[in-house]
A = this chain, B = another copy of it.
Amino acid sequence: MTQTAHPILAAIRFDTNGLVPAIAQQHDSGEVLMMAWMNAEAVLETIATRRVCYYSRSRAGLWRKGETSGQTQRLVDLRVDCDGDTLLLLVEQDGVACHTGRRNCFFLAERDGVLVEIAAPLVAPETLYGHKHG
């Protein structure tokens, strides 16, 4: 079976760059952890291995979540939205999802027109990556 003939890929409307946004949500708590992008290869690998693999736009290659930090995501369920242009990944997050060492990436909240930090890092980024990460 060719990639494009795969029924999951056929249902996804990849953008002009061949990418689709994927929201990662902790399957039991409902916490939205992060949003990243997938190409067709990342979707197929994720379904096959049940370990979440994104596409890194900055590195222009597959990004197996946790390959450097150890903070992997096990796929519990993969959902496609009504228009086929967004994925929702229900995952079991090992450790922290955010490269800043926070559990999730959405730690800046609007308060009276400005952003404030509402969560502190649980792990130092240096511990996750062995060096400072952008």
User: Which of A's residues lie within 8 Å of B, judged by CB?
Assistant: 6-8, 11, 21, 23, 25, 29-32, 34-35, 47, 77-83, 86, 88, 98-100, 102, 105-110, 113-115
Contacts and interface: CB of A to CB of B under 8 A. Distances in A.
In the complex, the count of this chain's copies comes to: 2
Contacts of A32: 23, 25, 30, 32, 88
A115 B25 CA distance: 19
Nearest to A7: B114
A91 to B, nearest CB: 12
A7 B86 CA distance: 28
B80 A6 contact: no
B77 A109 contact: yes
A47 B113 CA distance: 8
A77 B107 CA distance: 12
B82 A100 contact: yes
B86 A108 contact: no
B34 A115 contact: no
B113 A6 contact: yes
- Identify the 3 closest CB pairs spanning chains A and B, nearest first: A30-B30, A79-B106, A81-B105
